[in-house]
Amino acid sequence: MYDVIAIGSVTRDVFFDASGLSTVPWKKTQSGRGIVLPLGDKIEAKEIYFTIGGNSANASVTFSRQDFNTACVGRVGRDVAGSEILNRLKKEKVYAGMISSDNKLPTAYSVLLLKNGERTILSYHGSSNDFSLDDFKLGDLKAKWWYLSLAGSSYKMYGKLLSYASREKIAVAFNPSGYHLKMDKKGILSSLKHISFLVLNEEEAAILTGIPFSNERAVFKKLDALMPGVLAVTNGSEGVTVSDGHFVYRASTFKEKKLADRTGAGDAFGSGFVAGLMKDGINLSNISRISEKEVKEAIIYASANATSVVEHVGATEGILTARELKQPRWENLKIKVEKL
Ligand SMILES: Nc1ncnc2c1ncn2[C@@H]1O[C@H](COP(=O)(O)OP(=O)(O)OP(=O)(O)O)[C@@H](O)[C@H]1O
Ligand SMILES: [Mg+2]
């Protein structure tokens, strides 16, 4: 049996150094700026980095580097990008034998333009998009934990996956994709009773609850009432707020030495948190009795992993090994605890 199985998307990620490109103000965008690319011209990139991404690949690399027996489940195409993903996962000692190959669509592929630690992503979802229950045997997915994030139409298997997990006493960590949130908010809300760890960023928490995050108390109250497990709401470099149903924990972040690329911070945080829980022997049967010390430890694992990831280009490059996590750098994080 695996300690943990990550189920979701796997992608080929290619980063181009776009530091030479200009930006212009663009109010509608999240950053308020846009990258300018002259139509019809050729632009030379000084550097290029080939790596892998997708939440399932990213999370499984965290678990394996923390020495857990890990499998990754997803779908690739029958192409070079797909074989590269499988090879990289095998090198990471992640079991990739349950990743299916699609003979119709190419592997999900992202081109990321990097400028000043920020990035613009051109993404093609390909074979990851309609990854479904036909791609694997549910009976092969026995584990202590699952890490679940279902992109594109693969969200349709969510209900069946959760029924299996609760029958088999598998603790489920869940990070809903944007599309899943858009398509089935109601289904997600009513499923939270089966979720042991839910991780959302502030925007996702507001979408799921229908409550603006400025009313943080109401957001937590609504979600806490629906789930027995732990909830983390992240806010980029500002840090995170976590609730275990009894206490609220507010943590800042470990300061990064240099922001190289923030791709994968969310996945590094979510999977790092679950790795912290697993290290303390937390599972489905004891998650509702988690101690303050155990929650704090999970927050430290998660934050250290996320900071290390943003210091490297790519979503998996900076993921910490068990040895790296022991460095004194990751010892002290400011965490305030309040009664709910
Ligand atoms: N620049 C940073 N420096 C340090 N820590 C960071 C930084 N960015 C993110 N983190 C850590 O990672 C956590 C998750 O980041 P964030 O809120 O950006 O997730 P996200 O929106 O899900 O990101 P993603 O785009 O990867 O899905 C934060 O709560 C924080 O602890
Ligand atoms: Mg995210």
What's the helix, strand, coil split of the chain in %, to 5? Answer: 40, 25, 35
Residue 185's CB is within 10 A of a number of other CB atoms, namely 15
Mean pLDDT, residues 273-288 taken together: 97
Provide the pLDDT for residue 30.
86
Domain region containing 304: 2-19+46-339
What is the best residue among 13, 262, 317, 330 to mutate for testing ligand 1's pocket, by most ligand atoms within 8 Å of CB? 262
Burial, 327: exposed, middle or buried (Cβ in 10 Å; 0-12, 13-18, 19+)? exposed
CA of 100 to the centre of ligand 2 (A): 24
Tell whether 294 is covered by a domain.
yes
Max Cα–Cα distance, the chain, nearest Å: 60
Indicate the number of domains in the chain: 1
Tell me whether residue 33 is in a domain. no
pLDDT at 117: 81
User: pLDDT-derived band of residue 278, with 50, 70 and 90 as boundaries?
Assistant: very high
Q: Percent of the chain having pLDDT more than 70? A: 100
**Residue whose CA is at the smallest distance from ligand 1 atom 19:** 266
- Return the best residue to mutate from 174, 201, 256 for the ligand 1 pocket (most ligand atoms within 8 A of CB): 201
Beta-bridge partners for 124: 109
Q: Using N-to-C axis directions, what is the helix angle for 265-279 and 55-65, rounded to 10°?
A: 40
Rg value, the chain, Cα: 19
pLDDT at 130: 84
Our separate counts of H helices and E strands in the chain read: 11, 17
Residues lining ligand 1, Cβ inside 6 A: 201, 234-237, 239-240, 253, 256, 259, 262, 264-267, 269, 303, 306-307, 310
Q: Which ligand is nearest to the CA of 232?
A: 1
> For residue 76, what pLDDT is reported?
97
Q: What is the mean pLDDT of residues 75-84?
A: 97
Q: What is the pLDDT of residue 160?
A: 97
- Region 84-100 average pLDDT: 98
Which of 241 and 117 is assigned the larger pLDDT?
241
Q: Residue 96 has what pLDDT? A: 98
**pLDDT on residue 120:** 95
Structural contact between residues 80 and 45, judged by C-beta atoms closer than 8 angstroms: no
Tokens 């997708």 locate to 54
**Whether 312 contacts 119, CB under 8 Å:** no
pLDDT in tens, 180-232: 999 999 999 999 999 999 999 999 999 999 999 999 999 999 999 999 999 99
Ligand 1: distance of its center to the CA of 266 in Å?
5
Q: pLDDT-based confidence at 261, cuts 50/70/90?
A: very high
The pLDDT, as a whole number, for residue 258 is 94
What is the spatial distance between Cα 269 and Cα 61, in angstroms, rounded to a whole number? 12
Best CA proximity match to 16, nearest among 97, 110, 152, 105: 110
Among the listed residues 292, 295, 326, 291, the one whose alpha carbon sits nearest the alpha carbon of residue 308: 326
**Within a domain: 324:** yes
The residue whose CB lies within 8 Å of the most ligand 1 atoms, and thus the one to mutate among 234, 240, 305, 308, is: 234
Q: Which ligand is nearest to the CA of 112?
A: 1
Identity at 301, one-letter amino acid code? Y
Domain membership flag for residue 41:
no
Catalogue the E-assigned strands of 9-102.
11-17, 23-25, 33-35, 48-53, 70-73, 75-77, 100-102
Distance 237 CA to ligand 2 centre (A): 13
pLDDT over 90 (residue 85) = yes
What integer pLDDT is reported at residue 103 of this predicted model? 87
- What number does the ligand 1 atom closest to the CA of 267 have? 26
Lookup result for tokens 């599309």 = 179
List, in sequence order, the alpha helices (H) in the chain: 55-65, 80-91, 126-129, 158-167, 178-183, 185-191, 202-209, 216-226, 265-279, 292-310, 322-325
**Residue 25 is assigned to a structural domain of this protein:** no
Nearest-CA residue for ligand 1 atom 9 is: 236
> Which residue lies with its CA nearest to atom 17 of ligand 1?
236
Per-residue pLDDT band at 304 (split at 50, 70, 90): very high
Minimum-distance ligand 1 atom for the alpha carbon of 202: 17
Instruction: With respect to residue 315, please indicate whether it lies within any of the assigned structural domains.
Output: yes
Q: What is the pLDDT of residue 165?
A: 98
Relative to the alpha carbon of 233, which ligand is closest? 1
325 HSE (CA, 13 A, CB side): 24
Percent of the chain with pLDDT over 90: 96
* CA angle at 112 for the pair 313 and 269, rounded to the nearest 5°: 50
CA-based nearest residue to 17, from 155, 135, 118, 158: 118
- Residue 32 falls in which region: left (phi positive, over 0), alpha (psi -120 to 50) or beta: left
The ligand 1 atom at the shortest distance from the C-alpha of residue 259 is 1
Q: How far apart are CA 146 and CA 65, in angstroms?
A: 16
Judge whether residue 116 has pLDDT over 90. Answer: no
Q: Residue 340: its pLDDT value, please?
A: 82
Residue 26 lies in a domain: no
CATH number of the CATH domain containing 315: 3.40.1190.20
- 236 CA from centroid of ligand 1 (Å): 4
Quick check: is 40 in a domain? no
Ligand 1: centre distance to CA 282 (Å): 24
